[in-house]
């Protein structure tokens, strides 16, 4: 079903610009770019950000792209400081103290473990050859956003995480992984990253 959605979006992109549909009355119908679905105007940025990324330019802005690519790059490189800078501080602390318990003492150690978890999914010695943002939605019920917000609100204690959110999105991503031990690649599909805007800054949670 997902591949069909991609094909549909691609066909819509081909029609972008002077889109004309001819019906039984031979009437021309112009479809405005803003009315096209996500995926109709995809763009690749191979060197602008920390990782190569493909996205729909109408939905995802430069600041959001920087945060999500920096976040994934920190996981790729095992950079605890870079990871903490692009996720919620209380969530990073929760991961370090509660999820991993006393096993890891520093953020770098924890991110190395997270890197290992991704490696189990992808293969050893990997890098993100291309990050494709297939979906970018504010819809909360079916995207998993509501569930994540409830979890984060509880973790944040009395700080009212829900009330601090300006905007939030669910990013449905495909990762093209390159193995460093031979140059072969694999596609890991439907990986979700949740993004929150708080006080003018963006943060990623996965």
Higher pLDDT, 141 or 20: 141
Q: Is the pLDDT of residue 2 over 70?
A: no
What residues pair up with 179 in beta bridges, in sequence order? 126
pLDDT at residue 119 in the model: 64
Query: Which pLDDT value is given to residue 171?
Result: 96
What is the structure's pLDDT at 182? 63
Look at residue 45 and tell me whether its pLDDT is greater than 60: yes
pLDDT value at position 54? 98
- Write down all domains in the chain, each with its CATH number in brackets: 1-39 (no CATH), 41-205 (3.10.450)
Query: CB of 143 within 8 A of CB of 70?
Result: no
Average pLDDT over residues 53-78: 95
Using the Cα atoms of residue 177, residue 53, residue 18 and residue 9 in order, give the sign of their dihedral. Answer: positive
pLDDT-derived band at 59 (thresholds 50, 70, 90) equals: very high
Do residues 193 and 173 touch, judged by C-beta distance below 8 A? yes
Contact (Cβ atoms closer than 8 angstroms) between residue 80 and residue 107? yes
| Partners of 203 in the β-ladder | 196
Q: What is the pLDDT of residues 5-16, one digit of tens each?
A: 444 444 344 444
Per-residue pLDDT for 52 more than 80? yes
| 151-165: average pLDDT | 91
pLDDT 10s digits, 74-133: 988 888 889 999 999 999 888 877 766 666 677 777 777 777 666 665 556 788 999 999
Q: What is the pLDDT of residue 155?
A: 92
Does 188 or 62 have the greater pLDDT score? 62
């Amino acid at each position: 079903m997902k591949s069909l959605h991609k094909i549909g979006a691609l066909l819509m992109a081909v029609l972008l610009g002077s889109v004309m549909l001819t019906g039984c009355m031979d009437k021309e119908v112009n479809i405005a770019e803003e009315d096209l679905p996500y995926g109709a105007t995809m763009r690749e940025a191979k060197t602008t950000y920390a990782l190569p990324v493909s996205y729909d330019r109408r939905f995802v802005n430069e600041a959001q792209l920087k945060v999500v690519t920096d976040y994934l790059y920190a996981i790729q490189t095992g950079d605890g400081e870079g990871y903490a800078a692009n996720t919620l501080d209380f969530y990073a602390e929760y991961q370090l103290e509660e999820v991993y318990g006393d096993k890891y003492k520093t953020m770098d150690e924890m991110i190395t473990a997270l890197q290992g978890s991704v490696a189990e999914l992808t293969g050893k010695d990997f890098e993100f050859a291309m990050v494709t943002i297939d979906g970018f939605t504010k819809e909360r019920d079916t995207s998993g956003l509501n569930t994540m917000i409830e979890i984060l609100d509880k973790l944040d204690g009395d700080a009212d995480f829900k009330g601090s959110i300006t905007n939030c999105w669910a990013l449905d991503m495909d990762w093209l992984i390159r193995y460093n031990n031979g140059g072969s690649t694999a596609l890991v599909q439907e990986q979700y990253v949740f993004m929150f805007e708080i006080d003018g800054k963006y943060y990623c949670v996965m």
